[in-house]
Structure 1
């Protein structure tokens, strides 16, 4: 009888502990969901709602809110500026991402190669990550000051006799885009390098040794061993860079507030900011929703195409038919 009571008490104690752990777990994560619902989910729902409204302010008069369906989207698609700013955003992202991923991959493989035994790795990691700690707006303003007609770089080039008159970078389409891409590259390549390094260091060293024993050179090892096993981290870097590229704003607007020659440096988020500053809330909502849909769609496409070999057979058929 006494043993039965002991077992019963232990069972009740165990059950009580499980219930308490579950309860406190929900209580501890509840603040996050409350804050997310108030400051993220509800504004997102309102943005979708406003995108179907005619809701703007003209001087002291407020027009709307009046439900107009998809009229804001139709108006947006008919504007040349929207497609121009979308193309600008894609070009600026490519200018930044291509050198960023190439340099980051090379540095990641270089730093993690045990045969090289590079000294001072912590110092180099700190140095290449430091630009990521600086605000993008401050970084853009810094480069704008350095490359201005009266800036130190133009003064040095004139003293060395390389140029006769100061060159205005803001008047060149190519240099405008290159400089914005360069600023983003300097800011983010350190973060990308550390992410790729963590992926390479997570690969079992025995696999590299086996490749070396089989006679694989450095390039063959990188192509057939490192890149396939680095795929999850690489896809993560690609998607996050894609999201950041679509939302590019601060560097572009600080480096060239006028949008560059013929508005060739204006991005989608800059277009959104211009629309919102004119108090056209309905059109701003439509642009925001399109940026959200574009970001989500491209991320999903990249994910499914990258992991196509691991998808169920029915999903493979859908992708194949879509092609």
Structure 2
């Protein structure tokens, strides 16, 4: 082995050394809890009599999974989660693409571009719980929305927005849209600014319209960023918890139509039903993996 190859081996060794902290943290805080959760999903293990009496752990195979599908309404909560995610994601991606395209187009000459980019990102820095409490206060029976509506003569009595499924889901979706559209805009803008300007110049010389440039050049080259945004947003949507939890005071109302998968999981973990909680976590892990793979495969099809 010559001196050059020895130096390469030493350099690679330092790379592995720098990876050790990440590997240790990953094993302790992610891999071990994941394996433990899968293990617990096959056992009956909960606390009865108000947490005084411990039952189990007792191996019961796939009984926990049968329970959550036959008695736990997990598919209902999955549908609730997906409806609120879609209601928030569709306007989020449309508005983000439009804003990113405006910011990336030098011909528009938008004044104060950096200021507006900072402003639209600011809602992402505010805690979700603060947003949920704000909108809960706004749409309460004695809140300013009802007050203004009565002042304008639109309604005679206060309207209970939290008792209407459409309004409750819509408000939760709007909160998620408001929190994340700025982050999505910045990601898409970074992708658009990375596109070679010579492609746009060539299209302009060929007489392409602005819509043709957008759909034939910008969007196809943005596909990797769009895939990343869709998958990360999907994973975040499946983990939706804090906004509906606070906005509905943990009830998932009205009639559990805003109860999400994580809220359902939290109720079982709060009651210390580790077996059912583990089964729900495993099902969520599988759902997330399958949906992410579908999104990835759908967006990477060859034209």
Between the aligned partners of 1:228 and 1:17, the Cα distance in structure 2 is: 42
Partner of 2:24 in structure 1?
A: 34
In the alignment, which of 154, 157, 162 is matched to residue 154 of structure 2?
162
Partner of 1:272 in structure 2?
A: 265
The CA RMSD over aligned residues, in Å, is 1.7
Partner of 1:206 in structure 2?
A: 198
Q: Which runs of 5+ in 1 are unaligned?
A: 1-7, 311-323
Between the aligned partners of 2:208 and 2:264, the Cα distance in structure 1 is: 51
Cα distance change on mapping 1:67 and 1:218 into 2, 3 Å: same
Q: TM-score, normalised by structure 1?
A: 0.89
Partner of 2:53 in structure 1?
A: 61
In the alignment, which of 17, 42, 60 is matched to residue 52 of structure 1?
42
Between the aligned partners of 2:13 and 2:231, the Cα distance in structure 1 is: 36
SS of match in other structure, 1:165: coil
Instruction: Indicate yes or no: 2:199 matched with 1:194.
Output: no
After superposing the two structures, state which structure 1 stretch, 203-212 or 16-25, moved more.
Answer: 16-25
Instruction: Indicate yes or no: 2:244 matched with 1:252.
Output: yes
Between the aligned partners of 2:278 and 2:233, the Cα distance in structure 1 is: 24
Aligned pair count reads 300
The alpha-carbon deviation at position 22 of structure 1 amounts to 3.0
After superposing the two structures, state which structure 1 stretch, 299-308 or 81-90, moved more.
Answer: 299-308
Q: TM-score, normalised by structure 2?
A: 0.94
The alpha-carbon deviation at position 190 of structure 1 amounts to 0.3
Between the aligned partners of 1:228 and 1:34, the Cα distance in structure 2 is: 39
Between the aligned partners of 1:199 and 1:100, the Cα distance in structure 2 is: 17
In the alignment, which of 40, 43, 48 is matched to residue 33 of structure 2?
43
Between the aligned partners of 1:19 and 1:230, the Cα distance in structure 2 is: 38
The alpha-carbon deviation at position 78 of structure 1 amounts to 1.0
Q: In the TM superposition, what whole-angstrom CA distance separates every residue of 1:23-46 from its partner, at most 9, and x where no partner exists?
A: 332222211111110111100000
Q: Which runs of 5+ in 2 are unaligned?
A: none
Cα distance change on mapping 1:214 and 1:115 into 2, 3 Å: same
Partner of 1:294 in structure 2?
A: 287
SS of match in other structure, 2:73: helix
Q: In the TM superposition, what whole-angstrom CA distance separates every residue of 1:211-247 from its partner, at most 9, and x where no partner exists?
A: 2222221212111111111111011111111111111
Q: In the TM superposition, what whole-angstrom CA distance separates every residue of 1:163-205 from its partner, at most 9, and x where no partner exists?
A: 2222211011100000000000000000001111111111111
Between the aligned partners of 2:207 and 2:164, the Cα distance in structure 1 is: 50
Instruction: Indicate yes or no: 2:245 matched with 1:220.
Output: no
SS of match in other structure, 1:63: strand
The alpha-carbon deviation at position 15 of structure 1 amounts to 5.8
The alpha-carbon deviation at position 157 of structure 1 amounts to 2.6
Instruction: Indicate yes or no: 2:77 matched with 1:85.
Output: yes
Between the aligned partners of 1:181 and 1:305, the Cα distance in structure 2 is: 24
